[in-house]
Structure 1
Amino acid sequence: MRIAVIGGTGLIGSQVVERLKRAGHEAVPHSLSTGVDVIEGAGVAEAVTGAEVVVNLTNSPTFDDASPGFFRTSMDNLLAASREAGVGHVVILSIVGADQVPELDYFRAKVLQEDLLKAGGIPYSIVRATQFMEFIDAILSWTTEGKTTRLPRTRLQPIAAVDVAATVADVAAGKPLDGVLDVAGPDAYPLDELGRITLAAKGDGHGVVTDDTAGMFAAVHDGVLTAPEDARIAPTHYSDWLS
């Protein structure tokens, strides 16, 4: 099967491409570095021509109120080209609980992306993942001043990028879901506890202060970012990933 992976050179995309190739598919990575610009439209038609499946893993460069514009334009361009090319299945990666956090610009933008895909006239699949283990350091940095990191008790259920990529590759190679598949790591933690575990594993001298008003995730109702009942649970534990 020929599968075009847009955003195929990034953290998730490169692993999706590799997994699909190992499974015997013709997976082709596309990104700005290969001449495909989903905002300007350059190279998009050529990237999807001949593809049976298109996987869109591109991401907004910001998390602020500019992010909805990115997803609207990129999806409009990609869906138009995919319809013209006769693509039979489009897959995107979204966020567990995105539709339950309208307070956050980026989460609203991801819901917009999902809605555009659903209305796009092409069989589709949406994979929603919890927060990546690889991004926990960045999350801690948002609320760190000096030697103190302030974090809310909002629960996260981190997942390893390798497990996200495995799920996306499985979905891309299968029949369209015309719906959503949630995937999460096996363990949920309050974010303040996750911060302490992470910093201790690194031998970092920073201290964590519990502050339910600190950072982006303070706006999230507890439990929203953890696995719903029917989610696929990935195998990699955060403690094993840290070590």
Structure 2
Amino acid sequence: MEMKIAVLGGTGLVGSQVVKLLGEHGHDAEPLSPSNGVDLLTGDGLDEGLKGADVVVNLTNSPTFDEKSPAFFQQTMDTMLAAAHRQGVGHAVILSIVGVDQVPALDYYKAKVLQEDVLKAGPIPWSIVRATQFFEFVKSVLSWTSDETTVRLPATPVQPVASADIARAVARVSAGEPLRGVRNVGGPEVFTLDELGRIALQAQGDPRQVVVDPAAGMFAAVPGSVLTAPADAVLATTTFREWLTTQK
């Protein structure tokens, strides 16, 4: 059955892939972003964009990862849910993070928990897709705590996944019945973050050394293995090394 699916953040890394996948499966997938007149903070263009939509998918992200991020998610979710309710949208989907509710020391993770809670308390039947860390973000993670000779990383266990595999999971959930629950998605392999860093640097021909530093970077605040996929997760098949060969 063809559905009209509005994808907020539909021009971003995951959103653009979700729009393409939904289109290939016969759905009318509309990317909504500031580039086509939809502003989720103010609500400008949102009612028009959601007119006739069966589903709204929110893949927008806070411009910062600090203490300002909760206000962004509160405002954008309130705006989206109010407009979706006015337009009779029957299903709202967001993308969140595996283990997000178990890392209270991180402002951004607290903000994403708030986003989930606003969705659950809202008037629209809902689904949450929680993903592990993206392969695409490994380079940024390395850059946070590096200098000319060394990259410092904690030995935090992670189970990263390709954005293409996350997009497939989001598209599948968006085209289905509301879960009123969480679908966890992870990659096929668990690494410590320092090990992942070494593999990435070697693939790029980068001679810098990775040093284990339990206090380095954002993921230093993560307890235990909460960022790895839980037992009920859907595991993707693309490995990190396979993905790296496509990035050259």
Match of 2:107 in 1: 105
Output one character per residue of 1:27-58: Cα deviation in whole Å (capped at 9) or x when no partner: 00010111111001111111111100000001
Q: Secondary structure at the match of 1:144?
A: coil
Match of 1:55 in 2: 57
Output one character per residue of 1:57-97: Cα deviation in whole Å (capped at 9) or x when no partner: 01000000000010000000000000011100000000000
Match of 1:16 in 2: 18
Structure 1 segments of 4+ aligned residues over 6 angstroms from their partners: none
Q: Secondary structure at the match of 1:145?
A: coil
Q: CA deviation at 1:121?
A: 1.6
Q: CA separation in 1, counterparts of 2:152 and 2:79?
A: 40
Q: CA separation in 1, counterparts of 2:71 and 2:47?
A: 20
1:184 maps to which of 183, 186, 190: 186
Q: Secondary structure at the match of 2:95?
A: strand
Match of 1:40 in 2: 42
Match of 2:81 in 1: 79
User: TM-score, structure 1 length as denominator?
Assistant: 0.99
**RMSD of the TM alignment (CA)?**
0.6
Q: CA separation in 2, counterparts of 1:44 and 1:103?
A: 33
Match of 2:241 in 1: 239
| Counterpart AA for 2:143 | S
2:6 maps to which of 4, 7, 13: 4
Q: Does 1:90 align with 2:92?
A: yes
Match of 2:28 in 1: 26
Match of 1:67 in 2: 69
Q: Secondary structure at the match of 1:229?
A: coil
Q: Does 1:230 align with 2:232?
A: yes
Q: CA separation in 1, counterparts of 2:147 and 2:99?
A: 29
Match of 1:220 in 2: 222
Q: Secondary structure at the match of 1:13?
A: helix
Q: CA separation in 1, counterparts of 2:240 and 2:158?
A: 11
| Counterpart AA for 2:90 | G
Q: Secondary structure at the match of 1:118?
A: helix
| Counterpart AA for 1:238 | F
Match of 1:161 in 2: 163
Q: CA deviation at 1:138?
A: 0.2
Q: Secondary structure at the match of 2:23?
A: helix
Q: CA separation in 1, counterparts of 2:42 and 2:84?
A: 16
Output one character per residue of 1:109-154: Cα deviation in whole Å (capped at 9) or x when no partner: 0000000000002100000000000000000000002221000000
Match of 1:205 in 2: 207
| Counterpart AA for 1:28 | E
Q: CA separation in 2, counterparts of 1:37 and 1:102?
A: 29
| Counterpart AA for 2:238 | T
The alignment covers a number of residue pairs equal to 243
Q: CA separation in 2, counterparts of 1:66 and 1:33?
A: 23
Q: Identity over aligned residues, as a percent?
A: 61
Q: CA deviation at 1:222?
A: 2.0
